[in-house]
Amino acid sequence: MNKQAAVIGLALVPFALASAMAFAAWEAANGIEAWRMIGTTLAWIVSFAIGTQIFWRSVERLASNQSA
Amino acid sequence: MAVALVTSYSIAKFEIRSFPARGISGVDVHKPDRPVRAEMGGLAVLAALALASLFYFGIDFTLDGPPVLFAAAASTVVLTGMVGVADDTHELSQRFKPLLIVAASAPLMLALAGRTSITFPILGNVHLGILYSVVAVPLAITTSANFSNLLAGFNGLEAGSATISLGTMTFISEVTGHPTVAAFGMILTAAYLGFLFLNWYPAKIFPGDTGTLVAGAALAAMGLAAGLEFEAIILSVPAAMDFSLKAIDRRPFKQRHVFGNAVVGLDGILEPAPYPALVHAFMKVSPLDERGLVISVLALQAVFALLAVAIALIFI
């Protein structure tokens, strides 16, 4: 059960990362409104995708620790 | 709410008896004896929505502000359900299906034609102009419907996930002052709960694409109608993660055809198929049977539900 809870905890990483990066992009792109929206959306999507890859690598590490 | 729950349960019971004889059935691949079960159970949810909506309009027609949003959201959800029925019976092409769901979004696009912005926590109002109704609405409905169609395939997963996310949106809609949307959500939550009694492990019926597409479309429709888009996004995160894991791979979305499903042993323990997916993450770290897996994924959904409620209450 602890390992299942760890997976649930790790699953928060993509959302947290994406939200933080989207906020950073929003603050950084303080010029034309349209570019600000596009930049923020792209930052969210790309960070979320990176976050899910971090999640999967961490799960694989957790699984290999278990089988070792 | 009681009407929706009883209708959904009763019609699903009828489907269990009559659908396999008509060939509307599927194999439960995660059981050692691979039993055949009724498919397209989402039709029971649609029937419950239709009947309970009649009661709602009969009782509350004048009390609750303009019912146009309710009617538009219900129309979009039912049309999306019809796409699911077509997919369950005729296997629509993956390119054609999203286009049909875009078309199904038309009632909600028209009802929200005057809205021009989305409110995000911290960022504030993001002005989209006409792009809100023309792009954001169909994009949200199509994306959400397809996301929930991907994170599926285990007894109780789709209906359980729909009950949690739609129940959460109902609560948030009510506390943020959107009683019409809350009523719509309450009907659908009850409908999925009624269906869940028969879909829970060991399932007697599967929701099919009808059930999964309706759940996703309903979540997005509620988020859009109540202006709670960010909360709907949070509730979609588990399904979005599954999408992202399957998309960033050497064989995007073809893995199931290449590698097959998770394999079940005689002891009921699931062995994950060799490709990234959210359900496989839970199977990889410790031995799980189907029931345990579904409880773990629903626990994850519940965590995001709590996060959505917390954000809604903080930024109310």
pLDDT tens per residue across span B205-215 = 999 999 999 99
> Is B181's pLDDT higher than 90?
yes
- pLDDT value for A1: 60
Choose the mutation target among A59, A60, A61 for the interface with B, i.e. most B CBs under 10 Å.
A59
Q: What is the pLDDT of residues B218-256, one digit of tens each?
A: 999 999 999 999 999 999 999 999 999 988 877 776 776
According to the per-residue pLDDT averaged within each range, which of A29-33, B67-71, B156-160 is highest?
B156-160
Question: Is A6 in Cβ contact with B127 (below 8 Å)?
Answer: no
Q: At B61, is the pLDDT very low, low, confident or very high (cuts 50, 70, 90)?
A: low
- Among the residues of chain B, which ranges form H helices? 2-18, 42-60, 68-90, 96-104, 106-111, 131, 137-150, 157-175, 179-199, 208-226, 229-235, 237-247, 255-259, 278-285, 290-314
> Is B95's pLDDT higher than 90?
no
Q: In this complex, which of A6, A15, A23 lies closest to B122 when CB atoms are compared?
A: A23
- d(CA B283, CA B289) in angstroms, rounded, equals 9
Nearest CA in chain A to B278: A56
Biggest alpha carbon distance in chain A?
53
> Is B64's pLDDT higher than 70?
no
Q: Output the pTM of the full model.
A: 0.93
Span B28-49, average pLDDT: 90
Q: What is the DSSP-derived secondary structure letter of residue B38?
A: E
Q: In this complex, which of B128, B281, B304 lies closest to A7 when CB atoms are compared?
A: B281
> Is B63's pLDDT higher than 90?
no
B178: helix, coil or strand? coil
B59/B34: higher pLDDT: B34
Question: Is B238 in Cβ contact with A37 (below 8 Å)?
Answer: no
Query: Any chain B CB within 8 A of the CB of A62?
Result: yes
> Is B68's pLDDT higher than 80?
yes
Domain hosting residue A51, numbered range: 2-67
Question: Is A66 in Cβ contact with B126 (below 8 Å)?
Answer: no
- d(CA B69, CA B54) in angstroms, rounded, equals 15
> Is B66's pLDDT higher than 80?
no
Query: Any chain B CB within 8 A of the CB of A27?
Result: no
**Of B176, B169, B178, nearest in space to B217 by CA:** B169
The DSSP-derived string for B281-297 is HHHHHS--BHHHHHHHH
Size of interface A-B (CB pairs under 8 A): 67
- pLDDT value for B258: 67
Question: Is A52 in Cβ contact with B285 (below 8 Å)?
Answer: no
Split into its structural domains, chain A has a count of 1
Nearest CA in chain B to A68: B285
- pLDDT value for A38: 85
- Minimal CA separation from A45 to chain B, in Å: 10
- pLDDT value for B32: 84
- Minimal CA separation from A6 to chain B, in Å: 9
> Is B51's pLDDT higher than 80?
yes
State yes or no: ipTM above 0.95: no
Question: Is B300 in Cβ contact with A33 (below 8 Å)?
Answer: no
- pLDDT value for B280: 92
Q: At B65, is the pLDDT very low, low, confident or very high (cuts 50, 70, 90)?
A: low
- pLDDT value for B262: 76
Span B61-90, average pLDDT: 84
Question: Is A48 in Cβ contact with B281 (below 8 Å)?
Answer: no
Span B154-166, average pLDDT: 95
Tokens of B71: 């009617």
Q: Where are the domains of chain B?
A: 2-236
